Each structure stands twice: as C-alpha cells, then as structure tokens.
Structure 1
C-alpha cells in the first residue's frame, strides 16, 4: 500500500524532472574552423542579442571545429532566443569594421538581417518540451 505522502513525493519528483529541458543547437554554415563559436541563450529581451550581462543566461564558447552541435541542459520552460558569434580570432568578442561585423553571427529561427541585429521577438522560440532544437545558419557580412 502506498501512502498519500508517497504519492505526493513521487509526483513532485516527476514534475521536477519534467520542469527542465535540453536545448540542442545545430550550427551550420561556418566559413572556417578557426577560433571559437560563442553561444548565448537568454529569456530576457533586454539582454538580447548580447546576453553576456544576463545573470540567468546560458553561455558557452566552443571550438569552431566542434561547434556543429551544442546543447544546454536544465533549461526551464519559457521563451528564449539564441545568439551566436563565430569568433575567428578567439578574442571573445564580435569584431567590427566601421558598422559591419567582421565575424560571423547567427540567431535562433534564422530571422532576416536588415540593419543591425534582430529583435528578441524575431528570434524567440518556446521551450515547452523535454527536448527542443534550433538549427542556426551562420551569416557573414565581410
């Protein structure tokens, strides 16, 4: 016989395990295997696309050689956006030439780039399942 306390404990454990997700990011279109790919995932529109100052963001730097697939675990359900930089010279920032990026970039949902980075809404996607994936194409201006 299972007590009511045992049932509550079992259901709480099941809810806790289903409350977080894994985000898989498939990156394609890198023009070289030089340097690193900087990956940032945020749920806060104020910190997009540069979510380096968002204390709740998920960030990593991956060698461009190994950047085809990047995953994050422990993502809670919600709305997120991903920003990528192909940091070819490995200086941990996006290098600019006047007003154009010298290095590659990409965003979740692959929004059209007109003048400047997209708004959060254009790159936003829902994390509402145990596993969510985004396929991101890198873009180069120069």
Structure 2
C-alpha cells in the first residue's frame, strides 16, 4: 500500500521537472588583435565537432555577423547547457566567407580557448567549453597568416 501512495507522487515530480524552464547562459567573447576595423567578424557557436570550425552546413549552429568596428565584445544570449566551441573569422572584404590563397587563410581567425595553430584548423576538442547555466567570458585573440 505504501508503494502505491509513492507512485503518484513520483509521477507528479517528474512532470514538474519536465515543465521546469531550462536555465540558459550568456556567452561574452572579447575579441583582440583585429588587424583592421574593415568588414565583419563572423561568429559561429557550434556543438557539433563534425562541422567545426566551418559551420556553414551546421543547421543547429548559432551564426552571428558583427561589424568589425563594433566587435570588441560579442554577446551570445540564451545558450542552452551543452558542450560548444566558437570559431571566428575576420571577413575584411564582407563577402561572408573565409578567403584562402594557396590553402592558407587570407583573413583573420580565432577560436575559444585560443588553441595552438599547426597545419590546418584546430580540432573541436581544443576549443570546446561547457555551458552549465552560468554566464561565461572568453577572450579570443585573432590570428593572421597572410
């Protein structure tokens, strides 16, 4: 009999948990070392390692374009709990993509956690961070090869 009395209580608790709002966070990204204030900064917040750092085919990614002249701090609000990485491109000619010359980036780039850059882009794991409902701040230093 005691077990039957607990079951309805447990079910009500589960329903309340399902209805509880998801706690989101705000992500502030401080950007330094921009070569110029020309063009835009393209920001991609992705949770899918398969689409990092080029998230153009990632339908779930949050993509933001900010004028380079206003890109000292980029704020991404309402980020749900999970594991993410951010890739940034300084799109100086405002054509909406990273321009290459002989497979090398002609425009600036940066990533959360500022991983070392070797041959090719960094892996998702080296730029990843976890959102658990607390607001986060990251400083990203842009890099230029050409």
Is this a same-fold pair by TM over 0.5? Answer: yes
What secondary structure is seen at the aligned counterpart in 2 of 1:141? coil
User: Any stretches of 5+ residues in structure 1 without a counterpart?
Assistant: none
What is the RMSD computed on CA atoms of the aligned residues?
2.0
Question: Are 2:109 and 1:87 equivalent residues in the alignment?
Answer: no
1:111 paired to 2:115: yes
Larger Rg: 2
Gaps of 5+ in 2: 1-8
Runs of 4 or more above 6 Å deviation:
none
Q: Is 2:59 the partner of 1:55?
A: yes
1:18-73, CA deviations, whole angstroms, 9 ceiling, x for partnerless residues? 2x111111111101000000000000001100112111111111000000111111
TM score, norm. by length of structure 1: 0.87
TM-score (norm 2): 0.85
Shift of 1:130: 2.6
* In 1: Cα distance, 2:20 partner to 2:63 partner: 26
Partner of 2:81: 77
Q: Which residue of 2 aligns with 1:23?
A: 27
Aligned mates of 1:26, 1:58 — CA distance in 2: 17
Q: Which residue of 1 aligns with 2:140?
A: 136
